[in-house]
């Protein structure tokens, strides 16, 4: 049997952390078993589904590197298939037409609640044998006796009583299928063998299993993973970090870090925290998914992100850094090579957005403010900087070791502490009081631009 998994988001919003973890688990399981991973867009909520959300989901999947083998498939392009199956169930006596209006259904619900009964359809139209002439929905004739057993790969055996299940709507009056119906048809047609999804869908599973039985189809293997909670133990929300996955890209996180973090939110392999993609594919299984909800920890994600910035090859990081530099207004036609910049900056910054902001002066003129000049530059220092500039003009070669020696020798010869020279020099060339070590900064900025910036500050020092 070829393993086939799927990720099936609804395009009613962006891809968030919980959805990304579900996609990752499904992707990993397929890759581990050398199977296929399918992307399906469940867009039957016509009022809330948008093209913007579809694009956001596709962009997020691409950024995360969760490339699908088939798809994306769209349910709204398969309406005829769902209607045909529903009509076949009606012919076989396994489904029926229902024309109960909203008022009757609402009154029924209120009565059931008053009696402290579970709210569900009362079967009024089961024996009416309605025709298709008037507006109606198609309902499934759910068994009224017996049990449905879900052999879940995470939760174990879960039992549901048929008498507590509803005669669910299969096709709405507008001809659009409901979730529980369309997902069964899709998973069968797409030959899905394993359904990995959030445990908020567990109560849907017995309804779907009954539909599989009615259609004489084998149900897939189910694995329902617990939800992700915030650090306060409550359902993950925007204030905890349940935002659009692409927000993490915009804040300077790496897809490697986010995926590594997400996989550990509910799955473990001993005490190992950091995995390569190859290790995840080799080690991932459903047996080690926890039944307990995981807690989102932003600090741990940030730690992982810093780890990857420090350890990944610079050439892998440069495209992501380029994105952040361009967003910050950098002119990449000037300035140092990105790989060299990353090598010098990677220990200092936990996100690439921070690295871009801290490196912007290399690619964009950043003159110090008048207040900084007034505070740090005196007429006597003007003379010292002028002398140092003349030395830099003659310096050769322009490399970090030579610059380091030059700075130290000049400070010693003038009876200065290195910081007394380095700090005003740093302000002159970066416009700020913080930068990488000064010899590295001068080297990366280059001789011509370094000297021009020193000259610009010298011309602005008031005697």
Which sequence positions are flagged as catalytic? 238
Listed residue (372, 380, 357, 387) closest to 427, CA to CA: 372
Instruction: Please list, residue by residue across 386-420, b when 16 or more beta carbons sit within 10 angstroms of its beta carbon and e when fewer do.
Output: eebbeebeebeeeebeebbebbeebbeeeeeeeee
Where do the H-state alpha helices sit in 33-140? 51-64, 79-91, 102-114
Q: Please, which residues have CB within 8 angstroms of residue 316's CB and are 6 or more apart in sequence?
A: none
Q: Please, which residues have CB within 8 angstroms of residue 55's CB and are 6 or more apart in sequence?
A: none
Region class of 246: left (phi > 0), else alpha (psi between -120 and 50), else beta:
alpha
As a dihedral over the C-alpha atoms of residue 61, residue 62, residue 65, residue 67, rounded to 10 degrees, the angle is: 80
The whole-angstrom separation of Cα 190 and Cα 3 is 11
Residue 34 contacts residue 64 (beta carbons within 8 Å): no
CB count, 10 Å around CB of 383? 12
Main-chain phi, psi angles of 26, to 5 degrees: -65, -40
DSSP 139-151: EE---SSSEEEEE
The whole-angstrom separation of Cα 165 and Cα 142 is 7
Structure token digits, residue 94: 């396994």
As a dihedral over the C-alpha atoms of residue 203, residue 208, residue 214, residue 216, rounded to 10 degrees, the angle is: -130
> Among all chains, which residue has been given the structure tokens 């797409």?
190
Distance of CA 107 to the CA centre of its chain: 43
């Amino acid at each position: 049997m070829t393993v086939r998994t799927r990720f099936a988001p609804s395009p009613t919003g962006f891809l968030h952390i919980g959805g990304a973890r579900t996609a990752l688990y499904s992707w990993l399981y397929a890759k581990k078993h050398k199977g296929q991973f399918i992307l399906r867009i469940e867009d039957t909520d016509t009022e809330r589904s948008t093209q913007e959300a579809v694009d956001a989901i596709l962009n997020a999947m691409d950024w995360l590197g969760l490339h699908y083998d088939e798809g994306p498939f769209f349910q709204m392009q398969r309406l005829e298939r769902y209607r045909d199956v529903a009509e076949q169930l009606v012919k076989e006596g396994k489904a029926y037409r229902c024309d109960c209006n909203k008022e009757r259904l609402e009154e029924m619900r209120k009565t059931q609640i008053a009696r402290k009964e579970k709210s569900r359809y009362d079967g009024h139209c089961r024996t009416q044998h309605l025709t298709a002439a008037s507006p109606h929905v198609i309902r499934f004739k759910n068994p009224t006796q017996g049990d449905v057993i879900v052999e879940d790969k995470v939760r174990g055996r879960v039992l549901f009583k048929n008498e507590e299940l509803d005669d669910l709507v299969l096709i709405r009056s507008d001809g659009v299928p409901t979730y529980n119906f369309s997902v069964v048809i899709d998973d069968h047609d797409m030959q899905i063998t394993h359904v990995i999804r959030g445990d908020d869908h567990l109560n849907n599973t017995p309804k779907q299993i009954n539909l599989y039985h009615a259609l004489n189809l084998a149900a897939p293997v189910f694995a329902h993973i617990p939800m992700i909670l915030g650090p306060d133990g409550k359902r993950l929300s925007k204030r905890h970090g349940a935002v659009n996955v692409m927000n993490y890209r915009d804040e300077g996180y790496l897809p490697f870090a986010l995926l590594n973090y997400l996989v550990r939110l509910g799955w473990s392999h001993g005490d190992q925290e950091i995995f390569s993609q190859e290790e995840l594919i080799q080690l991932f299984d459903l047996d080690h998914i926890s039944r307990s909800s995981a807690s989102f920890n932003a600090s741990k994600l940030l730690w992982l992100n810093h780890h990857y910035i420090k350890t990944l090859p610079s050439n892998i990081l440069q495209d992501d850094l380029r994105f952040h530099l361009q967003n910050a207004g950098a002119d990449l036609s000037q300035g140092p090579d990105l790989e060299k910049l990353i090598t010098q900056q990677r220990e200092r910054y936990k996100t690439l957005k921070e690295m871009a902001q801290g490196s912007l002066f290399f690619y964009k003129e950043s003159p110090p403010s008048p207040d900084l000049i007034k505070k740090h530059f005196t007429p006597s220092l003007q003379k010292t900087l002028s002398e140092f500039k003349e030395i830099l003009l003659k310096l050769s070669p322009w490399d970090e070791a030579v610059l380091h020696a030059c700075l130290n020798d000049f400070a010693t010869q003038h009876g200065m502490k290195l910081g007394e020279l380095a700090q005003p020099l740093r302000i002159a060339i970066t416009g700020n009081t913080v930068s990488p070590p000064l010899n590295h900064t001068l080297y990366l900025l280059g001789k011509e631009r370094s000297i021009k910036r020193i000259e610009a500050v010298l011309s602005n020092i008031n005697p």
